[in-house]
Amino acid sequence: MDSDTDSVGGESRAALLVDAFTTEPLAGNAAGVVPDADGLTDDQMQAVARELSVSETAFVLPSADADRRVRYFTPTTEVDLCGHATIATHAHLAETGAVDPGAHTLETNVGVLDVEVTDDGRVWMTQNSPEVYEVDVDYDRVGDALGCDPNAFRDVGAELPVAYATSGLPFLVVPVNFLERVGNMDPDFAAVEALAADHDAAGVYAFTFDALDAESTLHGRCFVPGAGVPEDPVTGTASGACGAYLDHFGAFDGTADVMTFEQGHFVDRPGHVYVRAAGGRKPTVGGDAVTAFDGTIRVPEPKDDDIIEA
């Protein structure tokens, strides 16, 4: 284990901020990466994630069932899967030579997933078999939660409904008519959290085909306040779920082999996610990543769990 005990208590571990779904630093979605988390307790990992204060931090651990294990923590809680942190972790490991280009396996809380690293450093993550179904929602309630005119949903609702979709982490997927409506959303995060929870979802992913870039399939925004992430800049798990949603509801005559989802522009963190989801197969999400910060973090000693009696 590569760590140094500090004279003032605790130990130092390598810690990075890696921007995923972008080739430009300080864009895309920043993930914390702790490439050697072996021996850290849950409380220590949570403390590190809180200190790094990005939407998710990935902790790399040994695994008996895969090439490696990763656990993901937001500043407030552990989540079962995180796409951008997976991309960021493997991009960093590839950059440092810790992994070679090719196929790898990753143990997560939702099972063992396949990860591919290409020769040029792009990372592809295969998610779980999708589950997608239409849900009955009150458009007025959705509009109040997202801070958006509910007619923006009704316009497309006859063709593409609001639906539950998951390929590892569940989202309420909400189609919207125009980019202006998506960009001007002013969410009530408590209401978004309640809306997602009522449909057994981690968060809400709103999207429109009215994208900024001509080559993009859609533009999305993702809100996950229940996990301590009011708005996630660029979201791999939600992109996979949305890809499965588009395939399930036949949004196109034939789902493109690779779709491009843009996200993050309205929070000044633009990025692009590449999605394969045709034919009901397991969604595969791909992206680039770049290291923005490389340093060490001092990890506190494990807390004494003994109960103090008055």
**Cα(16)–Cα(32) distance, integer angstroms:** 6
**Cα(195)–Cα(191) distance, integer angstroms:** 6
**Cα(245)–Cα(236) distance, integer angstroms:** 14
Going along the chain, which residue ranges are E strands? Answer: 4-5, 11-20, 29-34, 56-61, 68-73, 78-79, 102-108, 111-117, 123-126, 131-134, 163-166, 171-175, 203-208, 218-224, 229-232, 259-263, 271-276, 284-287, 289-299
- Three-class DSSP category at 90: helix
Annotated active-site residue in 11, 56, 107, 231: 56
Angle at 281 (CA atoms; ends 177, 130), nearest 5 degrees: 65
Distance (Å) of CA 184 to CA 10, 91, 149, 163, 265: 45, 33, 10, 22, 12
Q: Which residue has the tokens 């045709």?
A: 278
Phi, psi at 89, each rounded to 5°: -60, -50
Distance (Å) of CA 293 to CA 4, 54, 97: 20, 12, 18
Is 193 marked active-site?
Answer: no
Neighbours of 285 (CB within 10 A): 30
User: Residues of 163-177 as b/e, b for ≥16 C-beta within 10 angstroms?
Assistant: bbbbbbbbbbbbbbb
Looking at residue 289, its amino acid is A
Active site residues: 56
